[in-house]
Amino acid sequence: MSAIKQVFLAIHILAVLGGLVLLLIQLPKPKKVIHVGFLHSMLTALVAGLALVGIDTSLHASDPVKYEALDHGKIGIKFLVLLVILALTIKNKNKSEVSTSVWAGLLALTLANVFIATSL
């Protein structure tokens, strides 16, 4: 089960980094657009994150001494931030151009999610 957890963790990290790169590619461009890959990347991160929660819960239930309990508050906040990211992305994905504030908001929310995951 630990090996599967590592696979899903790698998928989750790569999906978030992929989304971040797709946002940062737009940085020098005067007209910002939301790449369709950003939506796919965030959906992949969501699915992998949900799988990680399930795997971590089962690992903790099997051996509470070896595997620490999940911080459900942190997971809930990350989930809500990701839902906001997905809502903004779905709302603006078909537009030929998005405002810089929407693009910056997506970037800030993605970076906030990374910060929450790594430091809290």
Helices (H) and strands (E) in the chain, counts: 4, 0
**pLDDT at residue 120 is higher than 80:** no
- What pLDDT is recorded for position 80? 97
What is the rounded (10 degree) CA torsion for 115, 102, 34, 42? 30
- What pLDDT is recorded for position 2? 84
When pLDDT is averaged across residues 30-37 and rounded to a whole number, the result is 92
Q: What is the mean pLDDT of the chain?
A: 94
Per-residue pLDDT tens over the stretch 42-51 = 999 999 999 9
pTM of this prediction exceeds 0.85? yes
**pLDDT at residue 67 is higher than 90:** no
The one-letter amino acid at 21: V
CA distance 98 to 104: 10
